[in-house]
A and B are shown apart, each in its own frame.
Chain A
Amino acid sequence: MKRHIIRLTVNGDTHELAVAPNATLVEVIRDRLGLTGTKRGCTSGACGVCTINDEEGRALLSCLTLAVAWDGCSLTTIEGVAEGGRLHPLQQAFWELGAVQCGYCTPGLVMTARALLLGNPQADAPAIDEALAGTLCRCTGHIKVKQAVASAVARVAADHVAATPESGNDGAQG
């Protein structure tokens, strides 16, 4: 197999890699870049534990994706979600509400929910269900996960109100 030189930006760091055509993104991310937060699960698109986000913030299954097809693209993995040492509101909510059991599916769940929040900051319960439908937690269930995502949606909305001067003033006057 002829290797291809590809340029991948992952969590802001740009890497030039020689990859075999049959290397999937999850293999490159874990075994070449050492970013083992992204998990390998069913490798058939059913469990979502390998979920990462693309440039547009969409949820992407890194196990069903060839690395060569993403040459020149920018990706975010679970390692790139916390900013400046502060947990992302989703991570904070998963932690506080105990939406974790063994933890294997958690990075995929957070990346799935991150894509939802980026595309639909006011996601309601049906939207959360729809987004999480491609994920699977085999320890327990999705009740706490759904609660954590809903909690993160509320936190992001509250932060947005606090950070917007006009809304903040309205709140103070009311």
Chain B
Amino acid sequence: MLYCAPTGGFPQDRRVQLPAFEYLRPQSLAQALDWLAMYGTRAAVLAGGTDLLLAMRQRLVVPEVVIGIGDLPELRGVAFDGEGVLHLGAAETLTTLAGHPLLRVGQPALAAALQSVGSRHVRNVATLGGNLNLPTRCWYTNQSETWRQARVPCLKTGGDICFVIPGARECFALNGADGAVALLALDARLELASAGGRREVSIAGFYRNDGLAPTTLAAGELVTAVRVPAAAGRSTFIKIAPRTGLDYGLGTIAAVVAGDDDGITAARLVLGSIASWPVRLHEAERIVVAGGLTPATIEAAAQAARADLGELTNL
């Protein structure tokens, strides 16, 4: 049967209807990158779509062209490379990664972080690359178009005021990419590709503490893979959220700690969902390594973290 015309009475309602765009399905990564170079900021890449399609429905993103990259084999794969580094394709789904033995056993903090995202439905299609590129969020901007239009634009939507933090002159929208929090603690690196070539960047070098431009990803560039070295110690990830399912974190923490009862030899502590990037707690790490894990050093590390972060929180 060939259907050519819509038969139903689906309401043409901007609140639920996606904006118009052309859909392109590349046959290879090279073709996708050529198209990305050609269309630049007029294009959006679609993998799982759980975040992009909602943002498009809310008219936060209105691309002329959507490039579907979810099927590209170049963006798949979970395997060790020759140097014992775990190589994760950016278009692998969160369900696949969180349930993969190489992550569950070898990288528990990363598995827990990816498992904490959304719901099973979302994780079944949402990808690692999508999570790492999650736009920053706030409770003013991430709403329907109607809601946003009820007030003048904010810093993020072309205006010069902030509704979340009155008087703010910069955008403090939060980075809720749970995978990034674990990956910064694990000192992972990202592989990026564009039509012009490839480069590698550390997680720390990828993110910026700027709600308006939270990553250093250039126009036409795509995250193709994540390289995760073996954890230098035991690792964990904890998310504080109103519900265990679906909610973005009010705060998240990833920790990689090496040592034993005799002392801590190394520690990487990272907080997420409280700033426009994942925040490395350098001073708290130094205190824990210098003094070991005692109630007193833990308290001192917590105070140091608090001093580092300042007074702005998302609460």
Contact = CB atoms under 8 A, between A and B. Distances in A.
Helix, strand, loop or mixed for chain B's interface? loop
Interface stretch (A21-29, A84-92, A161-169): A21-29
Contacts of A44: 54, 57
B17 A22 contact: yes
B118 A1 contact: no
A66 B54 CA distance: 12
Given A32-B6, A69-B68, A22 B18 contact: yes
Contact of B119 (A2, A21, A31, A48): A48
B53 interface: yes
Contacts of A112: 120-121
A1 B49 contact: no
A18 B57 contact: no
Interface string B12-56: 000011111111010000000000000000000010011001100
A75 to B, nearest CB: 13
Contacts of A130: 120, 245
Helix, strand, loop or mixed for chain A's interface? mixed
Interface in B52-72: 53-54, 57, 66, 68, 70
Given A15-B1, A22-B21, A51 B121 contact: yes
B312 interface: no
A37 interface: no
A61 interface: yes
25 contacts: A18-B3, A20-B20, A21-B21, A22-B21, A24-B18, A30-B8, A32-B6, A34-B7, A40-B16, A43-B57, A45-B118, A45-B246, A48-B121, A61-B121, A66-B49, A68-B25, A69-B25, A112-B120, A112-B121, A115-B120, A130-B245, A131-B120, A133-B244, A134-B119, A134-B121
